[in-house]
């Protein structure tokens, strides 16, 4: 984190100016982009009342989705609590859909490191392809960046071949500069994706944070040649918001980042909204 390559003062005025330019590029009626939005989704259920029946019902809907809505792409992944990974693996028939889960004391990251490592290892053992962990924000706020990075690296090791997404909880970081620092820290520590939010605190994802994270990914890629993905999550419930995030990614990182391998959207309510925007049915679709 002392590398001067990454030093940049993030001006909120500059960010807002760039976002203004990006918003002018968005075509709100772009059906092809709406379809791509579906293909970027991590369809998510992370609720206190989740149980095996709720999770399996969601997966069955994923299994049937393309037969009921021909011409629509499949979602990229499903995201659940780690104790439901086996239920997902046993129920999911479309093997192109990735199995993601949260670990590491989600959503607060406030537990023993040993617990975080065991939880991550168990989740992958049960079949998780991707692991979403939370940055230790309290430790980050004390500027103990080394401890934060070491924890990410250890969880990455525990995840083995599974991809690691690091949630920054950008909405409660003190500034856009801190969003940048957290982004670089996570990538240097081994994150395959950086993610805005757990969806459990407000504010969650914001265009400002997503722009700064994209800018950090670009600088990191220019230095290392390694492509890191981005996942906005939390409060993404409507098609225009999702399209704005896709437009930010395209503007900062280019079209090559607009693939499920490098761009995801954490979503529990978004899928229905996008389906309605594409199909414009007389009766509202409430499939997911």
Catalytic residues: 132, 195, 231
Residues 77 and 43: their CA atoms lie apart, in Å, by 6
Question: Measured between alpha carbons, how far is 248 from 202 in angstroms, rounded to an integer?
Answer: 21
Q: Which of 154, 142, 129, 140 is nearest to 184 (CA)?
A: 140
Nearest by Cα to 201 from 110, 79, 82: 110
What is the rounded distance in angstroms from the CA atom of residue 141 to the CA atom of residue 244?
29
CB 155 within 8 A of CB 164: yes
In terms of C-beta distances under 8 Å and separation of at least 24 residues, what long-range contacts does 156-162 make, across chains too? Answer: 156/189, 156/190, 156/191, 158/116, 158/117, 158/118, 158/120, 158/121, 158/124, 159/120, 159/121, 159/124, 159/131, 160/121, 160/124, 161/124, 162/123, 162/124, 162/128, 162/129, 162/130, 162/131
Estimate to the nearest angstrom the gap between the alpha carbon of 156 and the chain centroid. 16
Query: In sequence order, what are the beta bridge partners of 232?
Result: none
CB 43 within 8 A of CB 58: yes
Closest CA to 69 of 275, 288, 264: 275
């Amino acid at each position: 984190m002392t590398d001067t390559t990454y030093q940049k003062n993030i001006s909120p005025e500059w960010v807002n100016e760039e976002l203004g330019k990006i918003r002018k590029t968005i075509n709100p009626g772009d059906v092809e982009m709406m379809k791509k939005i579906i293909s970027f989704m991590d369809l998510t259920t992370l609720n206190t009342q989740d149980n095996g029946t709720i999770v399996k019902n969601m997966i069955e809907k994923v299994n049937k989705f393309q037969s009921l809505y021909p011409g629509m792409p499949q979602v990229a992944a499903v995201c659940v609590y780690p104790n439901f990974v086996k239920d997902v693996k046993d129920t999911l028939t479309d093997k192109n859909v990735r199995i993601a889960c949260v670990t590491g004391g989600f959503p607060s990251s406030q537990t023993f490191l040993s617990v975080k490592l065991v939880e991550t290892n168990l989740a992958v053992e049960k079949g998780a392809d991707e692991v979403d962990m939370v940055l230790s924000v309290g430790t980050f706020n004390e500027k103990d960046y080394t401890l934060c990075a070491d924890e990410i690296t250890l969880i990455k090791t525990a995840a083995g071949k599974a991809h690691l997404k690091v949630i920054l909880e950008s909405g409660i970081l003190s500034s856009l500069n801190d969003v940048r620092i957290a982004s670089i820290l996570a990538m240097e520590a081994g994150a395959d994706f950086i993610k805005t939010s757990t969806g459990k605190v407000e504010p969650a994802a914001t265009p400002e944070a997503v722009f700064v994270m994209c800018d950090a990914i670009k600088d990191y890629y220019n230095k290392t040649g390694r492509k890191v993905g981005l996942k906005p999550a939390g409060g993404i419930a409507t098609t225009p918001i999702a399209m704005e995030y896709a437009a930010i990614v395209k503007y900062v990182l280019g079209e090559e980042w607009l693939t499920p391998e490098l761009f995801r959207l954490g979503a529990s309510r978004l899928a229905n909204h996008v389906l309605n925007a594409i199909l414009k049915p007389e009766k509202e679709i409430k499939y997911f």
